[in-house]
Structure 1
Amino acid sequence: MRYVIGVDLGTSSVKLLLVNQHGVLEDEVTKDYPLIQKKSGYSEQEPEQWVKQTVAGLAELLKRFEGSPTAIEGISFAGQMHGLVLLDENNKVLRNAILWNDTRTTPQCRYIYDEVGESRLLQITKNPALEGFTLPKLLWVKQNEPDLFGSAGKFLLPKDYLRYRLSGQLHMDYSDAAGTLLLDIESNNWSEKLCNILDIDPAICPPLVDSHAEVGNICKAVAEQTGLSQSTKVFAGGADNACGAIGSGILADGKTLCSIGTSGVILSYEDSNDKDFEGKVHYFNHGAPDAYYTMGVTLSAGFSLSWFKELFAAGESFEEMVSEVDSVPAGSNGLLFTPYLNGERTPHADASIRASFIGLDSSHTRKEIVRAIMEGITFSLNESLHIFRNNGKKIDTIVSIGGGAKNDVWLQMQADIFNATIVKLSSEQGPGMGAAMLAAYGCGWYATLGACADQFLKVEKTYTPNPVTVMEYAKLFGVYQQVYQYTRKLNEDLLEFRQ
């Protein structure tokens, strides 16, 4: 039997999957690491923690593995997007990584528009200047930590730094590069035009490779620490959302994904890079060869439930916390939640907006509040579907992965709010499985990623929309869409009071 390992470097933990040549998950390990939040809007991590916990996880996998280490033929990576890792000329880390959910860079986004122009930026990158992207973070360091920035030799994204530490080879794949706001999506090269306008040395950008590209082997030191063989091939991997799409079979035009993790994503496959969504949704390179995807993002999706759990249900599991939501009718007895805990991405791109409960009264109990949070997250994701459909995309079937796929009530809620059939996979591992599939494809096990998906992915259950509930949610969605407009100015006025 032959095996590959998929590594999913997330925001709160790294997950490692050992998968055999038939797509069966043989073993998995998860290792946590902390967030560093020094003040409101800041979100950082220490890159060494990613390496330490990944190496520990690999050692744990190999300790339990009964086969020969040489049977593990490849390893690949999925990773949290947009995060900035700055290295010096000797490839040593210069500062904590600034993560995707860090929103300190509003002035830098304005600066990009002032210097580049919004239309020219969209023409080059297909994406607007948003606080979460990498380029504004680079400019923040350049403007606020100039001496440190002057020592920078290269920048990487999180999973690229991890891969460098495991293999000694330094690259970035196209799917993650597309999320930096420095990739010319038409030429698939770093944009020298943007670098020149913004006074960034293009040499700081790493070499670009395909997601399935073999970039090296496990280095000797890591092999000794983990038990892996030095013959294990290392593949570039991709952005977590690109890998989530691969690991969910989103490999043909019209296929759509709903992924609910810390953030939430609606992602749809595109076979070309020439469509125009006017920057309302993201337009990125896929991890599949010669493909792209459009994507809308809810910044605080699963995080909204985690936030509530930590404050009001710390001693319970998520299953216990949501166990009574099926007894609450659609609409949560007149309670509405907007999941803007850390700002919002799609469709508002607003770092200042914050969450709201609308309609809360003394009759509401915890179960109504929990259901309202679940509905609010799903309404936010529906905003992205609304944009896709208004641009002519037909979406009638959606694969759901992540935390939102672990609860039958939430899956049915998605079917009713999205007005689409929801598909749950039998072994849903999301980005980690996509990374494993990239390794399997890179090892030559399959002629295409599609053939790999046919072997690796199976449908467990489908959820169809209830026409009556669809109508109720359509009416409530109209109310939801008004909340942002009514609360935007109020949140701007509260900015001076935030610590």
Structure 2
Amino acid sequence: MKYVIGIDLGTSAVKTILVDRKGQICAVVSKSYPLIHEQTGYSEQDPEEWVQQTTRALKELISSSNIKPEDIEGISYSGQMHGLVLLDESYNLLRNSILWNDTRTTEQCNYLYKVIGEKRLLEITKNQALEGFTLPKLLWVKEREPEIFEKTAVFMLPKDYLRFKMTGCIHSEYSDAAGTLLLNISKKKWDEELCELVGVSISLCPPLVESSECIGNVNEEFSQKTGLTTSTKVFAGGADNACGAIGAGILSPGETLCSIGTSGVVLSYEERSDRDFNGKVHYFNHGKENAFYTMGVTLSAGHSLNWFKENFAENDTFEELLADLKNVPIGSNGLLFTPYLVGERTPHADATIRGSFIGMDASHKKSDFTRAVVEGITFSLNESIEIFREYGKEITSIVSIGGGAKNEQWLQIQADIFNAKIIKLSTEQGPALGAAMLASYGCGWYNSLEKCANAFITSSKIYYPNQASVKVYKQLYALYKEVYNQTKELSKELNQFNKR
């Protein structure tokens, strides 16, 4: 039997999975690493932590699975998007990586609009200038750490640095490059006009390849540390959301994904590069060749539920916390929650808005608050679906993965709020499986990602919208949408009293 490995380099941990030719998960090993928060709004990591923990995970994966390393044909990657890694001309690290959830770059985003113009930026990159993207981080280093910027020979994205350390080869690929604000999405190349306008040499941008392209083999140093053989092929991989889409089978028109992790994502497949959403949602290159996807983001999806549990139900498991969802009526007995704990992304690109409970009275119980949190998260995700539909996309079925797919009542709530059938997968490994699928396709096991998906992915249950519940939720959703406009100025005013 032959195998491939999928590596998902996340924000808090790296996950490695070993998959055979039938799509069976043979072993899973994860290793965590810390975040660095030096001050408010800053979020960094030491890229060497990624390398060290991935090395440990792969070594354990091979030893625990009792397979021959020479039977591992290929490796590919999924990676946290947008993170900035800087290397000098000798390919040494110059500083910690600035991550996707770092918000220090508001001034740089405003500068981009000033020198490029919002319309032209959208024409080139299909996306707004947001603090999470890579180019604003690069401009921040240029302004605040000029001595580091002067030494920079190439910038990389997180998974691309890990792959470089495993192979010695420097590349990026289109799905991750799309999140930098430096890629011309339609033309699939780094944009010279944009680089010139912002004073960044295009030579800093790494060579671009397809996600399924073999860029080399495991090098001797990494082979000795992990037990992998130097005959194992290494493929470029993709951005975490692109790989999540592949791992959920979102590979043809009309297919849509809802993923509820720390943040929440609604992602829909696109086969065209010329659709125009006026920057209201993200528009990125897919991990599938010559394909694209649109995406809306809720910054605090699962994070909102985790925050509520840690602060108000710390003795409950998530299963216990969500068990009472079915015993609370739609609308949580008149209680609404907005999940803006760290600001919001879609449809409100607003770093200062904060969350709220609306409608509290003395009769409300913990179960009411729990259902309100779940409904609020789902309402926020529905705002992205609403945008897709307003711009002509037909969405009738959605694959749900992540924390929101672990509870049957929450899956039914999604069906009712989204007014679409919700598909739950039999097994779910998310972006790591998508990375493994890219490796299996690259190795020639299948002649298309679609055929790979047919072999690797099966559904276990479908949840259909209850039209009576759909009607009630439409009324409640209209109220939910009013809360942002009613509280955005209050949030700004209240911020002066936040002493943390």
- Decide: shared fold, TM above 0.5: yes
Per-residue CA distance 1:244-278 (angstroms, 9 max, x = gap) = 11111111011101011111111111111011111
1:138 maps to 138
- CA shift at 1:496, angstroms? 3.4
2:159 maps to 159
Per-residue CA distance 1:327-363 (angstroms, 9 max, x = gap) = 1111111111111111111111111111111112222
- CA shift at 1:122, angstroms? 0.5
1:269 maps to 269
Asked whether the equivalents of residues 106 and 351 of structure 1 are also in contact (C-alpha less than 8 Å), the reply is no
- CA shift at 1:16, angstroms? 0.8
What is the distance in 2 between the residues matched to 1:80 and 1:317? 27
Per-residue CA distance 1:166-187 (angstroms, 9 max, x = gap) = 1111111100000101001122
What is the distance in 2 between the residues matched to 1:247 and 1:422? 16
Per-residue CA distance 1:178-229 (angstroms, 9 max, x = gap) = 0101001122110111111001111111111100010111111211111111
2:473 maps to 473
- Alignment of 1:178 with 2:170, yes or no, is no
Alignment-mate amino acid for residue 105 of structure 2: T
1:368 maps to 368
Alignment-mate amino acid for residue 42 of structure 2: Y
Change (3 A) 1:30 1:314: farther
**Worse overlay, 64-73 or 15-24:** 64-73
- CA shift at 1:102, angstroms? 1.4
- Alignment of 1:221 with 2:221, yes or no, is yes
Alignment-mate amino acid for residue 248 of structure 2: S
Alignment-mate amino acid for residue 428 of structure 1: E
What is the distance in 2 between the residues matched to 1:201 and 1:272? 29
1:307 maps to 307
CA RMSD, Structure 1 to Structure 2 (Å):
1.2
Per-residue CA distance 1:23-58 (angstroms, 9 max, x = gap) = 111111111112222333222212111111111111
Per-residue CA distance 1:412-466 (angstroms, 9 max, x = gap) = 1110110000001101111111000000000011000001011111111110111
The alignment partner of 1:423 has SS state of: strand
Per-residue CA distance 1:69-102 (angstroms, 9 max, x = gap) = 1111001000111111122222222222111111
2:109 maps to 109
- Alignment of 1:248 with 2:248, yes or no, is yes
Per-residue CA distance 1:383-416 (angstroms, 9 max, x = gap) = 0000011111110000011111111111111101
The alignment partner of 1:349 has SS state of: coil
How many positions carry a matched residue from both structures? 499
Is there any run of 5+ residues in structure 2 with no aligned partner, and where?
A: none
Change (3 A) 1:255 1:28: same
- Alignment of 1:492 with 2:481, yes or no, is no
Is there any run of 5+ residues in structure 1 with no aligned partner, and where?
A: none
What is the distance in 2 between the residues matched to 1:50 and 1:315? 32
1:260 maps to 260
1:124 maps to 124
The alignment partner of 1:19 has SS state of: strand
- CA shift at 1:315, angstroms? 4.4
Query: Residues 20-35 of structure 1 correspond to what in structure 2 (within 5 A)?
Result: 20-35=20-35
Asked whether the equivalents of residues 331 and 372 of structure 1 are also in contact (C-alpha less than 8 Å), the reply is yes
Asked whether the equivalents of residues 26 and 65 of structure 2 are also in contact (C-alpha less than 8 Å), the reply is no
Asked whether the equivalents of residues 212 and 237 of structure 1 are also in contact (C-alpha less than 8 Å), the reply is yes
1:7 maps to 7
- CA shift at 1:309, angstroms? 2.5
- Alignment of 1:79 with 2:71, yes or no, is no
Asked whether the equivalents of residues 173 and 238 of structure 1 are also in contact (C-alpha less than 8 Å), the reply is yes
What is the distance in 2 between the residues matched to 1:44 and 1:326? 40
What is the distance in 2 between the residues matched to 1:367 and 1:170? 51
What is the distance in 2 between the residues matched to 1:131 and 1:331? 34
What is the distance in 2 between the residues matched to 1:365 and 1:33? 37
1:412 maps to 412
- Alignment of 1:204 with 2:204, yes or no, is yes
What is the distance in 1 between the residues matched to 2:260 and 2:407? 12
1:280 maps to 280
What is the distance in 2 between the residues matched to 1:157 and 1:173? 10
What is the distance in 2 between the residues matched to 1:31 and 1:106? 32
Alignment-mate amino acid for residue 200 of structure 1: V
What is the distance in 2 between the residues matched to 1:333 and 1:224? 60
1:396 maps to 396
Alignment-mate amino acid for residue 80 of structure 1: Q
Alignment-mate amino acid for residue 192 of structure 1: E
Asked whether the equivalents of residues 395 and 420 of structure 1 are also in contact (C-alpha less than 8 Å), the reply is yes
What is the distance in 2 between the residues matched to 1:411 and 1:99? 31
1:42 maps to 42
Alignment-mate amino acid for residue 92 of structure 1: N
